[in-house]
A and B are shown apart, each in its own frame.
Chain A
Amino acid sequence: QQKVQQSPESLIVPEGGMASLNCTFSDRNSQYFWWYRQHSGEGPKALMSIFSNGDKKEGRFTAHLNKASLYVSLHIKDSQPSDSALYFCAGTGGYKVVFGSGTRLLVSP
C-alpha cells in the first residue's frame, strides 16, 4: 500500500525567497504524481503534475521527480505572500490517489 512521507511539516520563507518541499513514496509502481495547493476554506487545487523523471517548470514553480528514488519535490522561486497555503504531494497507489500529510508554507512580507 502506498505510503507518502512529506517534509517539512511547516516552512517560513521571506518574500522573494525559495521554498522547497519534499516527498518520498513507498510504491515503486507509482506512475503519476501531483502537487496540490489548498488555501484556507477551500478544497485542494492541482498545482502541477509530473509523470516523467526530471524537472518540470511552470512559471515560478519547478517540480522534480526521481522514480528510482521514489522522490518528488517542489521548488517555488521568488515566493509571494499569496503562495502561503497548505501544499500536498500526491501519487497513484494502484487505482487510487494517495496524499502526503501536507506542508504549511508561510511567506512573510
Chain B
Amino acid sequence: GALVYQYPRRTICKSGTSMRMECQAVGFQATSVAWYRQSPQKTFELIALSTVNSAIKYEQNFTQEKFPISHPNLSFSSMTVLNAYLEDRGLYLCGAPTGSSQNTLYFGAGTRLSVL
C-alpha cells in the first residue's frame, strides 16, 4: 500500500538555527507533495505545494527564503526551516496524493519541531 515516511519524528533546535526534515513516499509516485504545519492548537496551515519539474507554490505568509523545499524525484521531498523561532513550532506534515481516490492526501506521521 501507499505510505509516507517523515524523518525525523521529533527535533529540537535553538532559536535562530535551522533544521531540515525529509519526506519519503513508498509504494507510489509522489508527483506532488503538500507541506503543512499543524500548530500546537491543532490547526493546519498549508506551507507550499511542490510538484516535480514545476515551480513550488508557496502560500501567503510562507516564503522560499524561510522554508526552502527540494523535490528532486517522485519519491522524496525535503524542507528546511531556516532561522527557526518560537512561532515556527509545530508538527510539520508532508502529504501526497496517490493518484487514485480523487487525490486523497496521504500524510506521514510528521516532524515535530520544538524551538528553545
Contacts and interface: CB of A to CB of B under 8 A. Distances in A.
A45 B6 CA distance: 14
A96 B83 CA distance: 27
Interface residues of A, number: 20
B105 A97 contact: yes
Contacts of B6: 43
Interface in B60-110: 91, 93, 95, 101-110
SS of B interface (majority): strand
A88 B102 contact: no
18 contacts: A32-B102, A32-B103, A41-B109, A42-B109, A43-B91, A43-B107, A43-B110, A45-B107, A46-B101, A46-B105, A49-B101, A51-B102, A88-B44, A96-B46, A96-B59, A97-B46, A101-B42, A102-B42
